[in-house]
Homo-oligomer: A and B are copies of this chain.
Amino acid sequence: MKDIVLTGDRPTGPLHIGHYVGSLKKRVEIQEEYDKPFIMIADTQALTDNAHNPKKVSENVYEVAFDYLAVGLKPELNTFFIQSLVPELAEFTVFYMNFVTLARLKRNPTVKDEMQQKGFGYNVPVGFLNYPISQVADITAFKANLVPVGDDQLPMLEQTNEVVRHINNHFNTAVLRECKPLLSKVLRLPGTDGLSKMGKSMNNAIFLNDEPDVISAKVMSMYTDPNHIRVEDPGNVEINTVFKYLDAFDPEQEELKELKEHYKRGGLGDVKLKKRLNNILQNTLEPIRQRRKEYEENPEEVMKLLKTGSEYARSVAAKTLKELKEVFTLNY
């Protein structure tokens, strides 16, 4: 069976350069390599912790789609779809819930972390606790065997393969397909404030649709080495966020090495570095922003494209669901 790739994003905000270096760039590379990767805008999953503000989710479906197209993901090379437009996924989820215990769900380390971050405890919405099962549905419905993920998502693939093996073994079938991570050396950008994660709510993100002056302002206020007070002081490359961004974006990596040595010795000012980064980011984001604007002017066209993709995704999921229902003898 051919390789099938599934990726996606929760539509809770426009995408930022952290997403770009972390996953979007990679997706652009592989769109020629694999046959029409499935790219899911996970609105249903986003609702698991945004249920009281669904508009935030539905509006950002567009934003995420604009970003996809803007970075160069091509509709003819990928299957973009909206999760809630593939209702078969809810059916898979409801079936799979019978094969996973509460204890197992609660052991999921990623969900555990997220529950702690959100301060949920026992008051966690069942839907949120359950989202790894919903991911089992997403992956297996399309028989995806390759899932580009970061380390934090590996527990989801483990959960998926547990359900797959359990059902395949118990019913002596091969209807469900195991998956594995499509790992790549992912660069994780910290936020502009130097904190670990870039995020909208942290106010430390550079978005793909930021205007040039916004980008400049964000770059010029970036966190560097707080002990690097005067230009002539030696600086610490490791904690200087600007260098982390240059690692990810600078096309002249040899020159960058020299700059790092210079910074360590002293005599290289942060402003100079920031100007360099600003230039590079402006060059990178300029064509993305332009393409994005074109799509923003035609939201109906973009939705049409998502609907076409969703219809195709639906036909694939429906086929797998039919097979699974036959295994369960529910094919009335």
Contacts and interface: CB of A to CB of B under 8 A. Distances in A.
A48 B98 contact: yes
Given A48-B98, A126-B102, A332-B303, A88 B87 contact: yes
A45 to B, nearest CB: 10
Interface residues of A, number: 52
A55 B98 contact: no
Interface in A303-332: 303, 306-307, 325, 328-330, 332
Interface in A108-161: 122-130, 133-134
A170 interface: yes
B126 A101 contact: yes
Contacts of A122: 101-103, 106
Contacts of A84: 91, 325, 330, 332
Given A94-B90, A124-B101, A170 B52 contact: yes
Contacts of A295: none
Contacts of A134: 94
Contact of A87 (B87, B128, B129): B87
Given A90-B90, A90-B93, A91-B90, A330 B125 contact: no
Contacts of A44: 94
Can you tell how many copies of this chain the complex includes?
2
Contact of A125 (B48, B49, B101, B328): B101
Most buried by B among A94, A124, A307, A332: A94
Given A101-B122, A102-B123, A123-B101, A47 B332 contact: no
Nearest to A328: B54
A58 B330 CA distance: 6
Interface in A12-63: 43-44, 47-49, 51-52, 54-55, 57-59, 61
A96 to B, nearest CB: 8
A100 interface: yes
A94 B86 CA distance: 13
A94 B93 contact: yes
A69 interface: no
A49 to B, nearest CB: 8
Given A98-B128, A126-B130, 11 more contacts: A47-B95, A47-B98, A54-B329, A84-B330, A87-B91, A97-B127, A97-B130, A100-B126, A102-B125, A126-B133, A306-B332
